[in-house]
Structure 1
C-alpha cells in the first residue's frame, strides 16, 4: 500500500510540474522600469478537457483501488493468519497424538489386573527367596519375571507403537520391554522425573532422556521422550512406576519436516510453562531468550494466542501463534516474519498497482483521443487561419471543415464568409501598397539622376578649367551613355554585370580627370554576374569612395569585389582614403533609425544622400534580408558592404 501511495504521489507531482510549466510558458513577463506586468495566455480547450477527464479518471481509479485494496488486503491477511493458526493447531494435534500413544500404553499397563497380580506374586516370591535362599524359590522368581515380561509384550502389542517400556518396581527392579529387553536393579530416585512424579502421584510426567549413561547427546537419535506415572496394586498402594519412551525424532517428526519444507518460517518452538525448550532439542541461547521473552510478554499460557511480536534478537516484527496442549501442558509457538507473512499481499499489491496503472494509462489515452476528437476541428480551423497569407486570401479556395459537429461547421461557415469579405479589402490594400512602394522606388531612383548629373557637370567644369579638351569630349560621350542607362525605364532590376559595366564607364571618366593618380580593380565572381539587383547600386558607392578618398595624397586606389556567400550576394567597395569620420557615421545611423522608426522618407536633396539612398532602396526591396555595413579599415581607408538574398519576394 505504501508503494502504491508513493507511485501516485509521483504521478500527481508530475501533473503539478507539467501544469506549472504550462502556466510559465503561457505567461509573458514584461519588465519595465517601475512595474512587472503579468499577462496570462489562455489555455487550450484540448488541455482543459484532457486534464478534466484525466483528473476524474485518476480520482475514480484511486478511490476504487483503495477500497478494493483495503478489502482484499484484509481478506488476504485474515486467510494467511488463519492458515498459520491452522498450521499451529495441526502441529499441536500431531504432538498430542504421539503423546497419546505413550499415555495409552501406560494406562493399559497401569490398569492391567494381570500385571498387578504378577507383580504381587513376583514381590512375594522374591521376599520368600530372600528368607529361604533355596534353588526352587529362584526358579519361581524367574518364572514370575518371565510371565510379567510376556504380559508386558502382549499389552504393548506386536507393532510396538512405542520404542521402549520400563516397569520400575519400588523394590529396585526394572523390567524392560522393547529395544532393551532386560531386567536389572535400578535406583528410581536417580531418575530426572522422580521428584516431579513423587510430588503428585496422580499425574503423569513428560521428560526428555538420553539412551545411555544419562548424558545429554546432541544427536536426536539418542534422545527419547519419556512418559512416567505411578501404578498401584489392587489395594491402591503404589508398587512401581511405568515409563514409556518414544524416539524424539518420531514424536516431533511433523515439526522437523515442517522446518525442512518451510524455511520461510522464522521459528517453531515447543516449550513448557516453566520455560524449558522441548523443541528443538539442540536449542541455542538465542532460542531460550526468545522463549523467555514470550513468557514475559504473554499473560495467559493456558489459552491460544495470535499476536504480533518483536523478535528480541533480530528486532524484526513477526506473527506469533501459540497453541496450548492440555494433554502435555506444553505450548506450541509458530513464528513467521512479517515480511514472509505479507509476501502474498506484497505480490498482490505489485500486481494490483501494475494493473491499475495499465488501466489508468489506457483510460488517460482514451481521454486524450476523446478530447482530440472534440477539438481537432478547432485545430484544423486554427491551422487554416494561421496559414492565411496574402496569396491564399486573394486566390486560395474555401476549405470545408466537415467535422460532423454542428457548432464547428457553423463557425467555419462564418469564417468562410468573413474571408470572402476580406478578399475585396485586401485587393484594394494590395493595389494601394504596390502603388506606394513603386512611388517610393521611383522617387529614390529619380533622386539619383540629378545627383549624378550634378557631380558629372562639376567634373567637366574642373576638366575645362584644366583645358583637358580631348578628355572632355570622351567624358561627354560616356556621360551620354550613362544618362541613357539611368533614364531607361524598362525595369528597375538589372544584372550585376550590367551594373558593373555602368560603374566602369564612370570610373573611366574619373581617370580622364585624375590620370595615373587613380587606379581601380574589379573582381567579380562568374557566379554572381547574372544576379538581379536594383539599378544604380554600385556606382554611387564608387563615387562616394572617390569623393572621400581624394582628400588624401595620391595614389588613390578603389577596389570593387563581388561574390556569393551561402544564399546571399555580396558587393564590397574599398578605398585607401582617410575613412569615415565618426561624427558622420553617427549622423548617418541616426537618420537610418529615424527612417525605420517613422517609416517616412527624408526630403529630397542633392548633397549627402548617396549612401542613405542606397540603404533605403535596399530596405524597400529586401526588407530585413538586406545587408548594409560601413567600417573603417585598421590602417587607412574604408569599406562599404551591401548584399541581399539571391531570390527575394517584394
Structure 2
C-alpha cells in the first residue's frame, strides 16, 4: 500500500513538473518567438514597401526622362514657338519625329503627346480626340494641378486613355508644362505608361494575402494608385492621415502601417497589414508545436508511471530492512537478496554511508565542543559589556550630533550581529551569510572608529553558496582591527575570498604590527596539542578563546574540512602588517 502511494506521488509530481516545464517552455518560446517573428516580419515588410517605392520611382523617372529629352532637343522649342504663332502647322512632321525618337527606345512608354494652350496637339500612337477635347483637358489640368513653378509636374492616377476614346486600356500619366525662358506656359507635354506596370509593382503578397498598397503623390495628398477600390475612401483617408508625418512603421488600430518616401518626388508608398496576418505563420507554427508537445508529454507521463513502479520496488525492499537499523547498530549486515543492479548499488551505498557516519560522529563530538565554546565566547566576549558599551556610546554620539540615519543603521547592524551569534540552531552557514554579518560588524566598527578604519571585502560570486563554519571571518577580522589600532592611526583591513577550481582561498590582510615567528609557532602548538590529546574537553579549556581567538578558528576549520585545510601566517605583508591565508578543498561543501 505504501509502495503504491509513493509511486503515485512520484508519478503525480513528475506529471506536474513535466506539465509545468512544458507550459513554461511554450510560454517562453512564444514570448521570444513572437517578438522575433514580429521583428522579422516588420523588417521584411519594410523592405517590401521600400522596394515598391523604388520601382515606382524608376517608372516615373523613365517618364520624366522622356519629357526632358523632348524639351531639351535643340530645335524643339524654336519650332514650338513658331507653331504657337502660325495658324497653320508647318513643323508637325519634325515635332512628331522628336516625339517618336524619345518614344522609340522605351518599350514601356505607351504615348508621348504635346499640345498648345489653343488645343493643337501632336501625339504618338492612335488619337481620336478633337480640339475641344484637348481644351477641356487643359482646363482640368489648370484647375486641379499647380503649374506655376519651373520644375512643376503632375502625376495622374489610373485613367482611360484620353487621346484614344475607343481604347479601354488604363494608363497613368506624367504632365509637365512647356515654358519659355520667362516662365510663361506655352503648352503641355504628356507621357503615358500602361497601368499593368504599376499593378505588377504594387500587387505584393504576404503569407498568400494580397497587401493593401496605396501610393500618394503631389505632396502626399493625391491618391496615385491603390490596390483596393477608391470607394473605400474612409480607409484611404485613414492611411493618408496616419502617414502624413513620416514614420517607417506605425500601429493603427489592429494594423501595422509601413511607409517609404520617394527619393525624387513628393510622394510615398504605404502598405497596411493586419497584425493577425503578419503573425499568421508564427501562430500556425505555435499550434503545431503545442500539439507535438502535448503528444510528447503524454508519452513521457506513460513512461514515468512504468519507470516509477520499477524503481520503487527495490527501494521499498531496502527501506523495510533499514527500519530495523538504528544509530547504535550502523554496522549491522543487511540481509537483502540483491537480484538487480539498482538494489546492489543502493545497499553498497548505504553500507558506505554507515561507515562514514561512524567517523563523522567521532569528529562531530570534537566539533560540538569547540563550536559550543566558540559561540559562548562570541556572546560573552565579543558581545560583552566592553563591545556593547562602545557600540552604544558611538550610537549615542551619532544621535547627539544629529546623525540619526547613521545611528539607525548602526542599531540595525548591532541587532543583526546579536541575533546571528546568539543562534545555536546552526553551526554551519554559507559564505554569503557570513559576509552579510561581517559587513554588519564592520559597519559598527566603522561608526565607532570612523576615519581611522577603512575596510575592503571581496568575494567571488560563485563562492557565496559554499558551506563554512559559523563565525569564521569575524574573529580574524576582530584581531586584525585590535592589533592594528595599537600601532597605526589609520587602519586598513582587507578580506579576499577567491575560488580556484575545487579550492577556496581566504585572505585577511591588515597594516598592523605583524605577527612574530614565536606567536605563529605557539598557535601551531595549540592546534597540534588539540588533535593529539584524546581528552578534548581538557584541551578546550586551555585554548585562549578571548575574542574568539585565531587558534580556536583554525581548530574549527581543521575539524570541519579535515586534511584538506591549510593555513599560512605571513609575518610581514606588503603593507607591513599581518596576512592570514586559509585554503581548503570545498568539493563536498558546495
Structure number with bigger Rg: 1
Asked which structure has the greater RCO (Cα within 8 Å, sep 6+), the reply is 2
